[in-house]
Amino acid sequence: MAQIFAKWTNKLPTIIAVAVVVGGVGVVAGINYYFSPKFTDVGYRPKQPVPYSHKLHAGDLGMDCRYCHSTIEVSSVANVPPTQTCMNCHKAILPESEKLAPIRESYATKVPMQWVRVHKLPDFVYFNHAAHLRAGVGCISCHGNVAQMEEVMQKQPLSMGWCLECHRNPGPALRPVAEITNMNWVTPTDQARLADSIIAAKEINPPVDCSGCHR
């Protein structure tokens, strides 16, 4: 009696099993990446009302982050500079620039500039900006090297997993407090020893339980 199915069909169960496993792994990996902040948030670069260049101000001119973001070391929330801060310089520098017309209008009308926020955590997350800086976490660890950015963009996922990685092992992100805004800081060869001394001196023990960030 002739066989109904070809001989190669004997391999079908193995082929199907392999396809299911490989396909399943691919689907899980795809969802893990393409539905995560690494894909959806990293690279976010909104258009701002004024084309402010961090590369020019923080990079070429060497302005310290704290001149504009003046409360970052004492406030739980990082401040966006008021128009007055911009006009401290631009009353004299490029006072007729067309690009700065919205700044001058804001200053004259006392209506704040509507800057578009780049780094935003969910409302159910508690994050204390000052606490991290006082511990010695440099701006570049979370924001990237803004001194090289014409337009600020999100460089890190700011996800729960990403935060927990640092909380479980904060050493690589720590530096002397005097260097927190230094975008040219070079990690020393004895970073582990430096981190251990900072952790011991400041008694750093980042929370890894839910209540640390969800209050």
Binding residues for heme c: 129, 132, 139, 142-143
- For the chain, report the end-to-end CA distance as a whole number of angstroms: 74
Coil vs helix vs strand at 62: coil
With contact defined as beta carbons under 8 Å apart, do 135 and 80 qualify?
Answer: no
Amino acid at 102: P
Sequence-separated (6 or more) residues with CB below 8 Å from residue 101: none
Cα(171)–Cα(168) distance, integer angstroms: 9
What are the φ and ψ backbone dihedral angles of 139, each rounded to 5 degrees? -55, -40
Radius of gyration of the chain from its Cα atoms, rounded to whole angstroms = 25
Cα(3)–Cα(42) distance, integer angstroms: 57
With contact defined as beta carbons under 8 Å apart, do 176 and 135 qualify?
Answer: no
Q: Residues forming the annotated binding site?
A: 129, 132, 139, 142-143
Cα(157)–Cα(119) distance, integer angstroms: 10
Burial of 96 (0-12, 13-18, 19+ CB in 10 A): exposed
Residue 123 half-sphere exposure, CB side, CA atoms within 13 Å? 0
